Amino acid sequence: MSTSAASVRPIGETAVLIDFGGAISTETNERVVALDRALAAQPPPGMIETVPAYVSLMIVFDPLVTEGDRVAAHALALLETATGEQRIPREHIVPVRHDAASAPDLEAVAQATGLSPAEVIARHLTGEYRVFMYGFAPGYAYLGGVPPALQLPRKPRAERGHPAGSVIIAGAQCLITTLPMPTGWWVIGHTSLVILDPARDKPFLFDPGDLIRFQRIEGQ
């Protein structure tokens, strides 16, 4: 990774965005994650937090302690050393139910894709999913890796009544909800795995860069 691969822009007076640009890809996101780890190990003075996304990393700082240019310079300097060691991603197995109550959109996804419900489940289970970022709501980990045969646009409108733990897909993304909340994504399963627990020392179960595999609960 070279510093030429990244651009910097200010976000107000309290943050800078290191943007790697280009299309969403595992390679680009690995650069984001590598810089995030490097900043955690060697934070610049005044850094408050970092917010990794698909192709960018926002660095929030205290303007009474430092300036955006200094924070950006520190981050760009770390890019020269953040490339050497490749982190071995943690892998998580997520158990999933696919009964009618847990997967209310399974039949609709099957009809839209031309697959049988069993084939939809099988295709989803074969995917290798990467945690690209957290966003939208607490603990909402956006996973890339939905097989092409299952990639559908979102529904025309959001629907209420879906519980936490719903396994949902839209386009190339998959997500496990952590709160009861309306969604316009397709609900194809449910897991009892707790992704967000404020009582844990580390409330979020996953880290950006982790790998997720879904495993069907027998008999479901």
Q: Which amino acid is at 115?
A: L
Task: Enter the CATH code of domain 91-216.
Answer: 2.40.100.10
Give residue for tokens 């909340």.
181
- The pLDDT assigned to 96 comes to 97
Alpha-carbon span 147 to 149, nearest angstrom: 6
Domain edges within the chain: 3-79, 91-216
- The pLDDT assigned to 72 comes to 95
- The pLDDT assigned to 3 comes to 47
- The pLDDT assigned to 79 comes to 85
Q: What share of the chain is helix, strand, coil (3-state, %, to 5)?
A: 25, 30, 50
Which of these CATH numbers, 3.30.1360.40, 3.30.870.10, 3.40.50.300, 3.40.190.10, describes 3-79? 3.30.1360.40
- The pLDDT assigned to 1 comes to 37
The structure's pTM equals 0.86
Segments of the chain with pLDDT less than 70: 1-4, 83-86, 219-220
> Strand 186-190's sheet: what is its strand order?
91-96, 211-216, 129-134, 141-144, 173-176, 166-170, 186-190
- The pLDDT assigned to 23 comes to 78
Concatenated DSSP letters of 192-219: ---SB-TTSSS-BS--TT-EEEEEEPTT
- The pLDDT assigned to 2 comes to 41
Diameter of the chain measured on Cα atoms? 59
Digit-coded pLDDT (tens) for 120-138:
999 999 999 999 999 888 8
Alpha-carbon span 92 to 111, nearest angstrom: 30
